[in-house]
Each structure stands twice: as C-alpha cells, then as structure tokens.
C-alpha cells in the first residue's frame, strides 16, 4: 500500500493513502515548516504496518509512529529533505521548542 505525508522533529504529522493530487500540497506543507526539519515522504507499507502506524497516531505517539515507519516502510524522500529525514524524530531540533 502506498501512503504519503509530512513528518518533522516531533514525528509523523500526516499519514494518508497516496493521492497524486495531494502530494504537491503536502510537499508545500513540509517546505513551509523546514525550521522543524519537516519532510515530505512517500512510503510503501503493508496493511499490518498501516494499522500499527494508525494506532500509534491515534494514541498521539507521533515519534514512535515515525520510528516504526522508518524501520518498516520503503520510503522515498525528496533529495532536499534527506538530511532532515536522518535527524528526525528529535523534538530538540525545534528552534521554537
């Protein structure tokens, strides 16, 4: 299953089934929040992984959800976001936090 969204220093911000028409807007959302190392991602994940990530997000465990996604998904990141992808999640990276 293909999903996409935005992740930042606090974890996963959005995790949605892939829709090409939404990818540009999610990318813009990430670009607007680069100060928090926000990145746009696309991920291939199994149905089981989708359920696990959605449950973590429902429980407001955003950092844990991102760690799980990074470990279990096949991820595609825009080249300009790769450095940030390697650094997140890490709430200490928020310059306003």
Q: What is the pLDDT of residues 56-93, one digit of tens each?
A: 999 999 999 999 999 999 999 999 999 999 999 999 99
Q: Collect all residues with Cβ–Cβ distance below 8 Å to 29 and sequence separation of at least 6.
A: 6, 13, 14, 38, 40
Distance (Å, rounded) from C-alpha 35 to C-alpha 59? 26
Q: Which two tokens stand for residue 3?
A: 């999903």
Residue with the two structure tokens 């890490």: 90
Q: What is the pLDDT of residues 38-56, one digit of tens each?
A: 999 999 999 999 999 999 9
> What residue spans define the domains of the chain?
2-93
For residue 58, CA distances in Å to 53, 64, 66 come to 9, 12, 13
């Amino acid at each position: 299953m293909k999903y996409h969204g935005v992740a930042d220093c606090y974890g996963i911000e959005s995790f949605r089934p892939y829709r090409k028409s939404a990818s540009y807007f999610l990318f813009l959302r990430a670009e607007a929040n680069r100060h928090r190392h926000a990145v746009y991602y696309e991920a291939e994940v199994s149905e089981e992984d989708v359920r696990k990530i959605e449950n973590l997000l429902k429980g407001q465990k955003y950092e844990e959800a991102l760690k799980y996604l990074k470990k279990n998904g096949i991820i595609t990141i825009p080249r300009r976001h790769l450095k940030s992808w390697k650094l997140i999640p890490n709430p200490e990276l928020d310059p306003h936090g």
